[in-house]
């Protein structure tokens, strides 16, 4: 099985003079050129080309508005990108204030799909959290659990490190603890099962101690750590050019034993030239790279 994760950046349907069209791979504060439908379409061609290049069996996605946007992207762009179709498309509502949710494209039908978006910190047994995390929905988006024959995926998108960096980190630590509890509750002996935690975990490159320690240290193996530090970046800040690695693939101890030498592949798209791009960072597939891993025998 080949599994990928990709923050596709603001995939939603927008109203245009000609009807609904997909929003481009940019945030809404980029500038006036972001309103150009031709640029938005160019972005989504690149998004589709990136997914087609990876050719994964399952693609975990972040920042998808709803199933309608996912279906439009699949039918209008992916099917023209010379890749096999993804008949199983999942997008469930989560807790993101902008409505950008976790989703998945799959060529394999999952036997079980579970959202954990409604659970509070107390539901996860995290009664030591402050009241706003203990008594309300804890996960900023969701942890979308997909069970397949032989492997289970836990797709997450943690709190970004702003506007309050310390507060954001405290939320990410709580989210990481919750995801660990989800995994632990899913198996009698998690270390002996095949599972992956993947997605945009929003870990800043200089975040010490790591908010992900509860997930990584002795519990799972971060495949991005197998790459040289200078080669593992998956996000570049548009103005400063600073690199970070928010996109992660954490595998279970059993998968680690079975795939000791497996390294992830980072697929970064080259921006295509466009006469109307001006000085904006368009077109682009996303502000994130796509990451995939091959797991033969799964």
Domains of the chain: 2-294 (3.60.10.10)
Give me the residue label for tokens 């080259």.
Answer: 270
Alpha-carbon gap, residue 226 to 17, rounded angstroms: 48
Q: How confident is the model at residue 34 (pLDDT cuts 50, 70, 90)?
A: low
User: Tokens in use for 140?
Assistant: 């900023």
Q: Over range 81-87, report the average pLDDT.
A: 96
Give me the residue label for tokens 């199983």.
Answer: 88
Q: Over range 202-213, report the average pLDDT.
A: 93
0.75 exceeded by pTM: yes
Q: How confident is the model at residue 14 (pLDDT cuts 50, 70, 90)?
A: confident
Task: Check residue 270 and give its pLDDT.
Answer: 63
Task: Check residue 175 and give its pLDDT.
Answer: 98
Alpha-carbon gap, residue 282 to 227, rounded angstroms: 29
Task: Check residue 31 and give its pLDDT.
Answer: 46
| Residue 106 scores a pLDDT above 50 | yes
Task: Check residue 17 and give its pLDDT.
Answer: 74
Looking at every residue in the chain, the average pLDDT score rounds to: 93
Q: Over range 23-43, report the average pLDDT.
A: 76
pLDDT tens digit string along 262-286?
999 999 976 555 555 555 556 889 9
Please say whether the beta carbons of 188 and 196 come within 8 A. Answer: no
How far apart are the two ends of the chain, measured CA to CA in Å? 6
Nearest to 178 by CA among 156, 153, 148, 193: 156
Q: Over range 206-222, report the average pLDDT.
A: 95
Q: Over range 212-229, report the average pLDDT.
A: 97
Please say whether the beta carbons of 86 and 110 come within 8 A. Answer: no
Q: Over range 159-174, report the average pLDDT.
A: 96
| Residue 251 scores a pLDDT above 50 | yes
> Which regions of 149-216 does DSSP assign to beta strands (E)?
151-157, 195-200
Alpha-carbon gap, residue 43 to 77, rounded angstroms: 10
Q: Which long-range contacts (CB under 8 A, 24 or more apart) does 166-173 make?
A: 169/207, 169/211, 171/133, 171/140, 172/201, 172/202, 172/203, 172/211, 172/212, 173/211, 173/214
> Which regions of 71-142 does DSSP assign to beta strands (E)?
88-91, 101-106, 112-114
Task: Check residue 65 and give its pLDDT.
Answer: 98
Task: Check residue 63 and give its pLDDT.
Answer: 98
Task: Check residue 32 and give its pLDDT.
Answer: 42
Give me the residue label for tokens 């995926």.
Answer: 153
SS3 297: coil
Task: Check residue 281 and give its pLDDT.
Answer: 58
Give me the residue label for tokens 């080669």.
Answer: 231
Please say whether the beta carbons of 49 and 81 come within 8 A. Answer: yes
| Residue 199 scores a pLDDT above 80 | yes
| Residue 226 scores a pLDDT above 70 | yes
Task: Check residue 273 and give its pLDDT.
Answer: 53
Task: Check residue 39 and give its pLDDT.
Answer: 87
Give me the residue label for tokens 């702003």.
Answer: 162
Q: Over range 203-232, report the average pLDDT.
A: 95
| Residue 128 scores a pLDDT above 70 | yes
| Residue 157 scores a pLDDT above 80 | yes
| Residue 240 scores a pLDDT above 90 | no
Q: Over range 35-42, report the average pLDDT.
A: 85
């Amino acid at each position: 099985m080949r599994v990928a994760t990709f923050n596709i950046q603001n995939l939603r349907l927008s109203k245009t003079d000609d009807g609904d069209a997909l929003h481009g791979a940019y945030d809404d504060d980029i500038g006036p050129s972001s309103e150009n439908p031709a640029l938005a379409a160019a972005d989504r061609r690149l998004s589709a080309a990136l997914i087609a290049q990876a050719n994964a069996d399952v693609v975990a996605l972040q920042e998808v508005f709803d199933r309608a946007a996912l279906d439009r992207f699949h039918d209008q762009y992916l099917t023209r990108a010379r890749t096999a179709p993804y008949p199983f498309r999942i997008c469930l509502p989560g807790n993101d204030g902008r409505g950008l949710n976790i989703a998945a494209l799959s060529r394999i039908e999952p036997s079980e799909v579970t959202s954990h978006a409604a659970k509070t910190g107390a539901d996860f047994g995290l009664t030591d959290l402050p009241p706003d995390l203990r008594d309300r929905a804890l996960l900023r988006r969701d942890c979308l659990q997909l069970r397949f024959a032989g492997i289970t995926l836990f797709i997450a998108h943690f709190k970004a490190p702003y506007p309050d960096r310390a507060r954001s980190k405290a939320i990410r630590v709580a989210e990481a603890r919750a995801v660990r509890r989800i995994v632990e509750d899913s198996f009698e002996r998690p270390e002996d099962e095949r599972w992956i935690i993947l997605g945009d975990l929003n870990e800043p490159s200089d975040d010490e101690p790591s908010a992900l320690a509860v997930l990584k240290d002795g519990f799972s193996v971060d495949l991005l750590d197998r790459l040289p530090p200078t080669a593992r970046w998956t996000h570049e800040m548009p103005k400063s050019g600073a690199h970070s690695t928010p996109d992660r693939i954490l595998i279970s101890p059993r998968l680690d034993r079975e795939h000791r030498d497996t390294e992830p592949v980072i697929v970064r798209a080259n921006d295509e030239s466009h006469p109307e791009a001006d000085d904006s960072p368009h077109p682009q597939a996303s502000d994130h790279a796509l990451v995939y891993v091959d797991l033969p025998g799964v």
